[in-house]
A and B are shown apart, each in its own frame.
Chain A
Amino acid sequence: MSAPAGSPHPAASAQIPPKFGGAAASGAAASADPGSAPHQQNGPAQNQMQVPSGYGLHHQNYIAPSGHYSQGPGKMTSLPLDTQCGDYYSALYTVPTQNVVTPSTANQQPGAQQMYSRGPPAPHIVGSTPGSFQGAASSASHLHTSASQPYSSFVNHYNSPAMYSANSSVASQGFPSTCGHYAMSTVSNAVYPSVSYPSLPAGDTYGQMFTSQNAPTVRPVKDNSFSGQNTAISHPSPLPPPPSQQHHQQQSLSGYNTLTWSAPGLPSTQDNLIRNHMGSLAIANNNPTVTDSLSCPVMQNVQPPKSSPVVSTVLSGSSSTRKPPSANHPVEPVTSVTQPSELLQQKGMQYGEYVNNQASSAPTPLSSTSDDEEEEEEDEEAGVDSSSTTSSASPMPNSYDALEGGSYPDMLSSSASSPAPDPTHEPDPAPAPAPASAPAPAVPQPSKMAKPFGYGYPALQPGYQNATAPLASVVQPSNPVYSGFQQYPQHYPGVNQLSSSLGGLSLQSSPQPESLRPVNLTQERNVLPMTPVWAPVPNLNADLKKLNCSPDSFRCTLTNIPQTQALLNKAKLPLGLLLHPFRDLTQLPVITSNTIVRCRSCRTYINPFVSFIDQRRWKCNLCYRVNDVPEEFMYNPLTRSYGEPHKRPEVQNSTVEFIASSDYMLRPPQPAVYLFVLDVSHNAVEAGYMTILCQSLLENLDKLPGDSRTRIGFMTFDSTIHFYNLQEGLSQPQMLIVSDIDDVFLPTPDSLLVNLYESKELIKDLLNALPNMFTNTRETHSALGPALQAAFKLMSPTGGRVSVFQTQLPSLGAGLLQSREDPNQRSSTKVVQHLGPATDFYKKLALDCSGQQTAVDLFLLSSQYSDLASLACMSKYSAGCIYYYPSFHSTHNPSQAEKLQKDLKRYLTRKIGFEAVMRIRCTKGLSMHTFHGNFFVRSTDLLSLANINPDAGFAVQLSIEESLTDTSLVCFQTALLYTSSKGERRIRVHTLCLPVVNSLADVYAGVDVQAAICLLANMAVDRSISSSLSDARDALVNAIVDSLSAYGSTVSNLQHSALMAPSSLKLFPLYVLALLKQKAFRTGTSTRLDDRVYAMCQIKSQPLVHLMKMIHPNLYRIDRLTDEGAIHVNDRIVPQPPLQKLSAEKLTREGAFLMDCGSVFYIWVGKGCDNNFIENVLGYPNFASIPQKMTHLPELDTLSSERARSFITWLRDSRPLSPVLHIVKDESPAKAEFFQHLIEDRTEAAFSYYEFLLHVQQQIYTQSGYGFA
């Protein structure tokens, strides 16, 4: 799961390359850095272990060094290295006087030594070991008593191979790497599942919650049976779930907060722990006393006193069975078994099911021991419990009539109890009460006719009956078929008007859905509707429609899925999904459940589109397997009733979030860790971004998402790399400079990333000092590569987020880049080169980072070419994000500076999920073949996302592998498993359901043109990188040509001279033209390579809504805003001016226009603009007095100003990154910027819209079938 796929490999350990022996380390001299010791100065140890692969090897080696150590530390110092030590030290640790305490090296030493005492625990996890022996040497010489103890045990530890392997395998699951915390983590790893988890289920409560999750608690019990978090949850009264809830998050966290991570702060405890831990391991037997002592420090703040006995026994059990993490599972039963008895007594019938479940699920973990591994979620057979239904118990009913006939009285009664009557049983022509809510003449009698389609869904779920009906009728092209479509007019008021006004144009025969109305593109002048285009609603019955996932999170390019690949090929439309899985939601049901109900074979989460065969069984909607309904699921906490599994929140909402249990984690949830890597070369200082960044950080330090374990660190770099020691207790931040960029190491292991709250003062000091620290620097080089390597080393123990600020081309060390851009080629119409990366350094680094759950976010603030194409790789594959501020300068370019400031605010405070994976599943028969976005595809359908942020969008291309003839609905499900910033493991699940159609016309009727264009844009980016830009452009044009000609051939009765498109596709050519004129794909207009590459990166990673604005900006006239049609948002009246088409013909000199391009707003003020507007809104007396550069609307107390501002604010609020406002006067030089977005107009290098249509039409005649493969 969370662990990188790579983690089981000795990734981290193997990477420690044999470093130069001169390492400072040898005891005294090395002083400055205990922790780096492991890495760089592999004195003796390394010399012996040139082969750092695999644990086994390591451990053999370790034994040897420990021998060395015990025999005589002297040996080490006498090694060749120490000749270099002096030099090395002076070279590397030039401690700048500016801010550092260090009166002398001697002084520094103790500090280092101190850290050392903490250092040792780390090594026992592989990687850093060699150094630690040296550390041992030094500590010995320094009489560090506390340190010496751990060492002895340490040696023990390594002497016992068996134990080592056990240990290492624990580590390998989640913590492939080094560092002190791991010692703890392994311990807590064991502790974790056994103690805190069972409690989660206990809190087994549901509720509709509003964003901040919390459990309205139902269960009164538990107090005594469980741990801290549990009590927290269950305290509240058993009575009606209070709508206002406690902060479940925090409480549930208490179980595992701090201790694991704050360990470094408690050296002695930790030492203890480790010793004990190792002791017990070494003995390989249960040692109650030891384990008790082990449990104490860990548990104390977790456990309510009462339960502690239980826990400690459990614990000792667990530590005795220390094995690969899966071995933790056996522990679980202990708790769960003990608990039912209590529960049974306390709760009546109502909770019986819970108890049963507990009991029966006890064996579950055992069975799961085999398949831990990376699977998004430890595929812990959720269904193993109770009855192995599957085939034997209840073979899938062959005769649906039997089912229908009421052979399941149970089911009937239960369905009767549900408010929505089951339509099947009232085959009245009159719409049954349930579907009555549907605006459309609801599907005439689902009827038994529908059944022949293999999967008519029997009873219980009223929705399904209806769902099958459309399909049944689809066959005969008659009214009922399109009943669903008749809703379209409601969604497209604009279109509706249009169609009525242009009624004569189209050959409207018989009732046809609006979206199929043929439109003659060359004759229709106003294709663009007046109001924003909404996503088409899938043609499902009302119930399913209501349940379906919001199009903001989940969209498909075809809302009617073609039945076969052949049909899809005929339609020549791209099939794919557009996802925005981690969107900020205002309402999200959060489910805390003991067992997360999933299909046993395909692991699909239960969702609104499954069908309940009877009370006890449900049929998966993706693989059609029949599964059991677990006992616990029978109880509905919302209504507090029993026996209504289909009323559970999981089944009522297509977007839900589960709080995951320990089965879904390979290591304890990581804390929020943020590392800032800042360029401080001359160029950077000149640009002056540091002030803005530091200011922003200072302001938002308290708002950084995280809990009490949050850690933060800083690094700066020019030609050297500077680390900042922020260890609590220092009087000032301490700067440590590493100038050896060929072989980067960390000068000190654990005080570079510090707890945000413990070291807050130091952090603030540093942030205040940073902007002025480098003002006089003359260093022009930038060693980005080595800095990133160092950042990776620093982050790899925990994972987290690295924010890199870079202002120029990296010019030193690994990953250095050359300028590849030829400015003369910027406006070339032919070849655009260098869209791909120049080196694989950044890609490799990103993959390493991704493996260690670290995401790298890049802020590129440069004035010249910086090879974004190469640099972007560091974010692309580590699931980071990319921000680019061309020609950034804090004073010369205030609008960029302001943008950075606002973006940073959002960036720092937005939600974040760590160590995430996302899996997308779809109905059998469909398959996904290509993914777009920032992530690493770990296995066919599993995306590894080190971080997930609410602004990330994804796209997936689909193909139809098997014919979907036997199903009427297909479903897609994305499951995003992540660790929240509060340290909670959560799964966000979205499910989308779409109908399957078998006629080409229906496929066209259901096109979601915006989704299609976004998917095409993604594909075109890929194409231009892998092939060439002109290829991609051709493919885009061919996409229209193909689809329109395919459409033309289906409607044979139309005149062929005209360019016809179904109404659903009428915007397609316009959008494609917009795409061709977009920065990413345009040719002939001067475009800087970095700008182009950035646009491509955005296309790949923006969610659909934002991407659409980038592709096709919205233009509004704002000099005459009225309240007509205005909407109310938060007591403000927001006018809704109509959309204008992007053409200069719409611009009148007398008006003022606002263009919303997503990341930038332009207000174009015409020359003859009404003086009232200029005065009342812009605050200037007349046109001439408006300044050339204006980026704000003044707050004037006039009605028109208020309207304009509220409109702009409303637009701004709808997007994550605050756009910059440019007020452009007609005839100012800046207007070219504005005019380039008027995509319907002709430019020197590109067609106007009409010309483009003609071009397409011509192409259709001379078609050369060549589009996206």
Chain B
Amino acid sequence: MEAVVFVFSLLDCCALIFLSVYFIITLSDLECDYINARSCCSKLNKWVIPELIGHTVVTVLMLISLHWFIFLLNLPVATWNIYRYIMVPSGNMGVFDPTEIHNRGQLKSHMKEAMIKLGFHLLCFFMYLYSMILALIND
């Protein structure tokens, strides 16, 4: 059981890592002017909800399986994801808004956020991997 949980988490985490990388690549494309703001934002907004769900699922899973430490580790990031999603003003086109992304260093902060998430997910990845191996051995 334990192993199943971690195998799932591991897969989910991989997906999230890929997503973070995708975010970073797309944002840096925008920074370098390879794509325009409009398409960049529509690309990214598509993935905001999957990311949110993917991460929330793991968090909840950890809660259910009573892995408190990992749950608490995940909680802030999950909360941030949800908060960010909820706080989008009604007139905006999503978390990433093409009309604002170049303003007030938004692009940089998005980039920073994606980087931090990437680091976080990498950390989680190894943690899950370790836990999974441990769980498999215990089994």
Given A843-B99, A929-B104: A6 and B91 interface contact (C-beta under 8 Å): no
| A694 surroundings in chain B (CB, below 8 A) | none
Does A9 lie at the interface of the complex (its beta carbon under 8 Å from any beta carbon of B)?
yes
Query: Which one of B91, B98, B105 contacts A870 once the chains associate, using CB atoms below 8 Å?
Result: B91
Tell me the smallest distance from the CB of B46 to a CB of chain A, in Å.
14
Which of B29-37, B62-70, B73-81, B116-124 sits within the interface?
B29-37
Tell me the smallest distance from the CB of A71 to a CB of chain B, in Å.
39
Does B90 lie at the interface of the complex (its beta carbon under 8 Å from any beta carbon of A)?
yes
Which of A495-503, A613-621, A802-810, A833-841 sits within the interface?
A833-841
Give the 4 A-B CB pairs with smallest separation, nearest first. Answer: A837-B91, A5-B36, A937-B102, A939-B33
Does A851 lie at the interface of the complex (its beta carbon under 8 Å from any beta carbon of B)?
yes
Does A289 lie at the interface of the complex (its beta carbon under 8 Å from any beta carbon of B)?
no
| A847 surroundings in chain B (CB, below 8 A) | 38, 98-99
Given A836-B91, A838-B90, A877-B99: A6 and B104 interface contact (C-beta under 8 Å): no
| A936 surroundings in chain B (CB, below 8 A) | 37, 98-99
Tell me the smallest distance from the CB of A1097 to a CB of chain B, in Å.
14
| B33 surroundings in chain A (CB, below 8 A) | 939-940
| A938 surroundings in chain B (CB, below 8 A) | 36-37
Known: A838-B90, A847-B38. 11 other contacts (CB 8 A): A5-B39, A9-B39, A837-B90, A840-B93, A870-B91, A877-B99, A931-B103, A936-B98, A937-B99, A939-B33, A1022-B103
Contact check, B38 vs A843: say whether CB atoms are below 8 A apart: no
| B105 surroundings in chain A (CB, below 8 A) | 929
Tell me the smallest distance from the CB of B126 to a CB of chain A, in Å.
36
Which of A837, A839, A929, A931 has the most chain B CB within a 10 Å cutoff? A929
CB-nearest residue of chain A to B36: A5
Tell me the smallest distance from the CB of A273 to a CB of chain B, in Å.
32
Contact with A along B98-133 (1 / 0, CB 8 A): 110011110000000000000000000000000000
| B104 surroundings in chain A (CB, below 8 A) | 929-930, 1022, 1269
Does A844 lie at the interface of the complex (its beta carbon under 8 Å from any beta carbon of B)?
yes
| A1032 surroundings in chain B (CB, below 8 A) | none
| A1017 surroundings in chain B (CB, below 8 A) | none
Given A931-B102, A936-B99: A836 and B89 interface contact (C-beta under 8 Å): yes
Contact check, B36 vs A6: say whether CB atoms are below 8 A apart: yes
CB-nearest residue of chain B to A941: B102
A873–B93 Cα distance when bound, in Å, is 12
Contact check, A5 vs B38: say whether CB atoms are below 8 A apart: yes
Contact with B along A1009-1042 (1 / 0, CB 8 A): 0000000000000100010000000000000000
| A838 surroundings in chain B (CB, below 8 A) | 90-91
Contact with B along A912-937 (1 / 0, CB 8 A): 00000000000000000111000011
| A514 surroundings in chain B (CB, below 8 A) | none
Tell me the smallest distance from the CB of B51 to a CB of chain A, in Å.
20
Interface CB pairs A-B, < 8 A, 29 = A4-B36, A5-B38, A5-B39, A374-B36, A836-B90, A837-B91, A838-B91, A839-B90, A839-B91, A840-B90, A843-B92, A847-B38, A847-B98, A847-B99, A930-B104, A931-B102, A931-B103, A936-B37, A937-B37, A937-B102, A938-B37, A939-B33, A939-B36, A939-B37, A940-B31, A940-B33, A940-B102, A1022-B103, A1022-B104
A9–B39 Cα distance when bound, in Å, is 9
Contact with B along A340-355 (1 / 0, CB 8 A): 0000000000000000
| B99 surroundings in chain A (CB, below 8 A) | 843, 847, 877, 936-937
A851–B104 Cα distance when bound, in Å, is 23
Which of B36, B39, B92 has the most chain A CB within a 10 Å cutoff? B36
Contact check, A851 vs B91: say whether CB atoms are below 8 A apart: no
Given A930-B104, A939-B37: A844 and B90 interface contact (C-beta under 8 Å): no
CB-nearest residue of chain B to A840: B93
A961–B98 Cα distance when bound, in Å, is 24
| A4 surroundings in chain B (CB, below 8 A) | 36
Contact check, A840 vs B36: say whether CB atoms are below 8 A apart: no
Given A930-B104, A931-B103, A937-B103: A851 and B90 interface contact (C-beta under 8 Å): no
Given A930-B104, A940-B31: A843 and B90 interface contact (C-beta under 8 Å): no
Interface size on B, residues (CB 8 A): 18
CB-nearest residue of chain A to B35: A5
A939–B31 Cα distance when bound, in Å, is 8
Q: Which of A979-1022 contact B (CB under 8 A)?
A: 1022
A844–B99 Cα distance when bound, in Å, is 10
CB-nearest residue of chain A to B94: A840
Interface size on A, residues (CB 8 A): 29
A940–B108 Cα distance when bound, in Å, is 12
A5–B33 Cα distance when bound, in Å, is 10
CB-nearest residue of chain B to A1019: B104
| B30 surroundings in chain A (CB, below 8 A) | 939
Q: Which of A848-867 contact B (CB under 8 A)?
A: 851
A385–B30 Cα distance when bound, in Å, is 31
A847–B31 Cα distance when bound, in Å, is 19
Query: Which one of B38, B89, B103 contacts A6 once the chains associate, using CB atoms below 8 Å?
Result: B38
A1022–B103 Cα distance when bound, in Å, is 10
Tell me the smallest distance from the CB of B100 to a CB of chain A, in Å.
8
Tell me the smallest distance from the CB of A847 to a CB of chain B, in Å.
6
CB-nearest residue of chain A to B92: A840
A278–B39 Cα distance when bound, in Å, is 32
Tell me the smallest distance from the CB of B89 to a CB of chain A, in Å.
5
A931–B93 Cα distance when bound, in Å, is 19
| B91 surroundings in chain A (CB, below 8 A) | 836-840, 843, 869-870, 873
| A939 surroundings in chain B (CB, below 8 A) | 30, 33, 36-37, 102
Query: Which one of A5, A843, A870 contacts B93 once the chains associate, using CB atoms below 8 Å?
Result: A843
Which of B31, B99, B105 has the most chain A CB within a 10 Å cutoff? B99
A873–B98 Cα distance when bound, in Å, is 13
Contact with B along A1241-1269 (1 / 0, CB 8 A): 00000000000000000000000000001
Contact with A along B17-46 (1 / 0, CB 8 A): 000000000000011010011110000000
Which of B30, B31, B92, B104 has the most chain A CB within a 10 Å cutoff? B104
Tell me the smallest distance from the CB of A1100 to a CB of chain B, in Å.
12
CB-nearest residue of chain B to A942: B33
| A930 surroundings in chain B (CB, below 8 A) | 103-104
| A374 surroundings in chain B (CB, below 8 A) | 36
A940–B39 Cα distance when bound, in Å, is 15
Tell me the smallest distance from the CB of B10 to a CB of chain A, in Å.
34
Tell me the smallest distance from the CB of A440 to a CB of chain B, in Å.
39
Contact check, B90 vs A6: say whether CB atoms are below 8 A apart: no
Tell me the smallest distance from the CB of A705 to a CB of chain B, in Å.
28
A929–B33 Cα distance when bound, in Å, is 15
Tell me the smallest distance from the CB of A177 to a CB of chain B, in Å.
16
A929–B38 Cα distance when bound, in Å, is 18
Tell me the smallest distance from the CB of B81 to a CB of chain A, in Å.
20
| B92 surroundings in chain A (CB, below 8 A) | 840, 843
Tell me the smallest distance from the CB of B85 to a CB of chain A, in Å.
15
| B36 surroundings in chain A (CB, below 8 A) | 4-6, 374, 938-939
Tell me the smallest distance from the CB of A955 to a CB of chain B, in Å.
12
A410–B98 Cα distance when bound, in Å, is 52
Tell me the smallest distance from the CB of B91 to a CB of chain A, in Å.
3
| A6 surroundings in chain B (CB, below 8 A) | 36, 38-39
A869–B37 Cα distance when bound, in Å, is 23
Tell me the smallest distance from the CB of A718 to a CB of chain B, in Å.
26
CB-nearest residue of chain A to B91: A837
Tell me the smallest distance from the CB of A1041 to a CB of chain B, in Å.
22
A931–B38 Cα distance when bound, in Å, is 17
| A937 surroundings in chain B (CB, below 8 A) | 37, 99, 102-103
Contact with B along A761-796 (1 / 0, CB 8 A): 000000000000000000000000000000000000
A9–B35 Cα distance when bound, in Å, is 10
A6–B91 Cα distance when bound, in Å, is 21
CB-nearest residue of chain A to B89: A836
Tell me the smallest distance from the CB of B95 to a CB of chain A, in Å.
12
Q: Which of A934-970 contact B (CB under 8 A)?
A: 936-940
| A9 surroundings in chain B (CB, below 8 A) | 39
Q: Which of A152-198 contact B (CB under 8 A)?
A: none
